[in-house]
Amino acid sequence: MGLPKNNRLRHHKSFQSVYKKGERYYSSQLVMHSLFGINKNCQIIPTQFGISISQKISKKAIVRNYLKRQIKSVIRIFLPKIVSGYQIVIVVKKQIQGCQYSILLREIKELLINAKIVHGY
């Protein structure tokens, strides 16, 4: 099960604006770009996530899609606790190969806490 549609970052333009204007947070296996956004009507948008996995990670789409599914499942756990209005792109580093789910969970949690995007931490 993926993320709800209103929590997905979809367009290339959106990814580029997050890369250029957003803040970066690093962990050993992930890079998180975050940008606080307001829509044209000055309303706070729901937090949107995008995941970027290069073909340098793996040439096989099966492996890349597996990693995306794991990251999405971790995001779904934290989604109710996340502050609205952010656009977040998670970029996967090459060191992630062979990473366990528990390590991925811990790293995403640390990135969200460092960015001060999660309530209650």
Question: Tens digit of pLDDT for each residue in 41-54?
Answer: 777 889 999 999 99
Q: Is the pTM of this model over 0.95?
A: no
In the chain, what are the domains? 5-112 (3.30.230.10)
Q: How many helices (H) and strands (E) does the chain have?
A: 3, 4
pLDDT, residue 103, reads: 92
Does 30 have pLDDT greater than 80?
A: yes
**Which pLDDT band, with edges at 50, 70 and 90, does 121 fall under?**
low
Does 79 have pLDDT greater than 90?
A: yes
pLDDT averaged over the chain?
Answer: 91
